[in-house]
Structure 1
Amino acid sequence: MPEQNNASAKRFAVMDLGTNTFHLLIAEKSTEGFRIVHQQTEAVKIGEGGINKGIIQQAAFSRGIKAMQDFKKHIDEAAATEVRAIATSALRNAANGNDFIAEVKAQAGIQIEIIDGAKEAAFIYKGIEASGVLTEKNSLIVDIGGGSVEFIIGNEDETLWKQSFEIGAARLMDKFHKVDPMNVVSIKAMTAYLNQQLVPLFQAAMQYKPTFLIGSSGAFESFAEVIELEAGRKFDLKSTKSYEFDTDDLLYLIERLIKSTHAKRATMKGIIPVRVDMIVSASLLTIYLMQKLGLVDVWMSTYSLKEGVLAEMMGR
């Protein structure tokens, strides 16, 4: 349950409506930046069965409406007065995306904004910046969503380059992850596809020479959680803003995930159910980037798009 409303504190609600998960963050300003009043994630899987066909299937459509009605209840209980719902790749590219938006407005009273890839990348940078993980050196920020992947090269002062690519984990899984574990032929096909799709990224990396790879939430949170829990250490994502990977630990985990079966991944503590299958294509993309761009210093930030939207709403 959300905490009781403090009449003197203005409350903000941000919804990030992704391809796999819908997120709700309700917060108020604090000296640290913001204080979370309520936070929840729903595994809506809006792209399930239709991600590469450009359609939201009926079951996914219904799950999405139900999640938005639930979010509205929490927003009202917390008495949040400024509300934004941001939709990205799956809704951006779905033929019936506008039908979903109209239905959410009618059923939950929430107006959804569809943003393009450039705006999505800008919000992600703002979120990463708020986490404090950026330095004066250039970093490559990677946000692996289900529908799209955003790449941003920047530092603590500015964004130098950004681009969104429609090669998210759900799209890659649908295209290449036909057998489990993935076979060598499929992995080679995916590598060839990434070589073709990511030419603008390679050109930007040559120009700006990023030193660090920063993974924005999502699969990177799972990587960190699995590594820490398997080492017998306590790890709380909710109280973590950023995390530095031991490169050997990360590469060892990625190798295991790529070779694993669904049943094996489902038993691994730290991998939420909605990520059990998509983490394979996310793992392949991560190791591909590390090897292709020679990036061995890898960090994770739990802050992403929704924190970036929140920072903008709070005027930060």
Structure 2
Amino acid sequence: MFIRKYGAIDIGSNGVRLLISNIIEFDENQTEFKKSALIRVPIRLGEDVFNTGKISEKNIQRMSDAMNSFRLIMRVYGVEKFKACATSAMREAKNSKSAVKRIFENSQIKIEVIDGQKEAEIISYTELHTLLKSNRSYLYVDVGGGSTEFTFFSKGKKINARSFPLGTVRILDGKVDQNTWSEAEDWIKENSSSLKNLSLIGSGGNINKLYKMSGKLPGKYLDIKYLENYYNFLSNMTYEERISKLDLNPDRADVIVPAAKIYLNALQWCQATKIYVPKFGLSDGIIRGLYANKLS
């Protein structure tokens, strides 16, 4: 048996995460990937970019501090390989290139800004394939702060994918118009019209939290009725009540409502009734992509 340690940094519009995984290689058995540490810092880059078009000086410094901290943590853990990827907010920022350069100069962490298609590709490196039954179709929905990636699978294979600027922070900031919602709805309806036995697979911190709050055991699913009821329940609470009564973190208590709306709409648009919630996402895909030499 041999154990490797890899790291993945996911720089989203609502938060920044460091995942450290143990990769356990066996002589005969299949290699296992086990999370060793997950650290999240609430740097909401989307609030800068979706309102001003740029990353603020304050958040460039906060990002530099976070990357320095992550570098030291990875050193302590003995991480031998890592990759940092930034998504929607960073790729839309007018000063993205200069911000990435400055963060690298301050922390020696090189950030790759990826588009929605690359983001979906990296997520496909996860164990997503283990969930795809050959006699069913799926719509994979990954909701972030700045965008949502939709990917259709049928008979175990990807058939279409698209990224829309439907993100939780973007919605909260009033930066999503009705045309964007309608465009996403039309695309999902068009691509799901010929698919039978369709279910959703949800990814992202908000759907993971909604699943945890449901009290369901791992491997089960959320049905559309539950999500409808819980969305209405959350919508009727104030931000302060979600923090005090539901014990939600301040940076989760606001975005969880628009996130639930996106998942609920996706269910309705493709006429699905179930959403499965495996706990993996971009950072897990980065780890597996590095290990398989699909990323560098």
Fold shared, TM-score > 0.5 on shorter chain: yes
Report the Cα offset of residue 150 of structure 1. Answer: 0.3
Q: Provide the residue aligned with 1:71 in structure 2.
A: 70
1:291 aligns with 2:268: yes
Hey, what's the Cα distance between the residues in 2 that align with 1:151 and 1:158?
14
Deviation string for 1:83-120 (max 9, x for gaps)?
A: 10011111101011112211221111111111111010
Hey, what's the Cα distance between the residues in 2 that align with 1:153 and 1:210?
13
Q: Provide the residue aligned with 2:198 in structure 1.
A: 211
Alpha carbons 2:140, 2:151 under 8 Å: kept: yes
Letter matched to residue 214 of structure 1:
I
Deviation string for 1:265-307 (max 9, x for gaps)?
A: 1124363321211112112222222222211111112101111
Deviation string for 1:138-177 (max 9, x for gaps)?
A: 110101100110001115732111111112111111117x
Letter matched to residue 200 of structure 1:
W
Q: Provide the residue aligned with 2:214 in structure 1.
A: 227
Alpha carbons 1:46, 1:90 under 8 Å: kept: yes
Alpha carbons 1:225, 1:270 under 8 Å: kept: no
Structure 1 residues 52 and 124: CA distance shift in structure 2, 3 A: farther
Segment of structure 1 superposing worse, 57-66 or 16-25: 57-66
> The residue matched to 2:125 in structure 1 has which SS?
helix
Q: Provide the residue aligned with 1:262 in structure 2.
A: 239
Q: Provide the residue aligned with 1:186 in structure 2.
A: none
Given candidates 130, 133, 150, the residue that maps to 2:131 is: 133
1:15 aligns with 2:9: yes
Give percent identity, aligned residues only: 24
List aligned pairs for 1:135-284, cutoff 5 A: 135-136=133-134, 137-155=136-154, 157-175=156-174, 193-209=180-196, 211-228=198-215, 242-269=219-246, 271-284=248-261
Report the Cα offset of residue 198 of structure 1. Answer: 4.1
Alpha carbons 1:150, 1:165 under 8 Å: kept: yes
Report the Cα offset of residue 257 of structure 1. Answer: 1.5
**Considering only aligned residues, what root-mean-square deviation do their CA atoms show, in Å?**
2.4
Report the Cα offset of residue 135 of structure 1. Answer: 2.1
Report the Cα offset of residue 17 of structure 1. Answer: 0.7
Q: Provide the residue aligned with 1:83 in structure 2.
A: 82
Structure 1 residues 259 and 206: CA distance shift in structure 2, 3 A: same
Alpha carbons 2:165, 2:180 under 8 Å: kept: no
Number of residue pairs aligned between Structure 1 and Structure 2: 287
Alpha carbons 1:46, 1:64 under 8 Å: kept: no
> The residue matched to 1:152 in structure 2 has which SS?
strand
Letter matched to residue 98 of structure 2:
D
Hey, what's the Cα distance between the residues in 2 that align with 1:271 and 1:128?
28
Q: Provide the residue aligned with 1:304 in structure 2.
A: 281
Letter matched to residue 134 of structure 1:
L
Hey, what's the Cα distance between the residues in 2 that align with 1:141 and 1:103?
35
Structure 1 residues 308 and 275: CA distance shift in structure 2, 3 A: same
> The residue matched to 1:64 in structure 2 has which SS?
helix
> The residue matched to 2:276 in structure 1 has which SS?
strand
Structure 1 residues 191 and 223: CA distance shift in structure 2, 3 A: farther
Hey, what's the Cα distance between the residues in 2 that align with 1:44 and 1:210?
39
Letter matched to residue 150 of structure 2:
F
Report the Cα offset of residue 191 of structure 1. Answer: 5.7
> The residue matched to 1:50 in structure 2 has which SS?
helix
Letter matched to residue 275 of structure 1:
R
Hey, what's the Cα distance between the residues in 2 that align with 1:43 and 1:243?
29
Deviation string for 1:182-202 (max 9, x for gaps)?
A: xxxxxxx96664113443333
Hey, what's the Cα distance between the residues in 2 that align with 1:222 and 1:93?
27
Alpha carbons 1:153, 1:208 under 8 Å: kept: no
Hey, what's the Cα distance between the residues in 2 that align with 1:163 and 1:44?
26
- What's the TM-score, normalizing by structure 1? 0.82
Gaps of 5+ in 1: 1-5, 177-188
- What's the TM-score, normalizing by structure 2? 0.88
Hey, what's the Cα distance between the residues in 1 that align with 2:102 and 2:59?
13
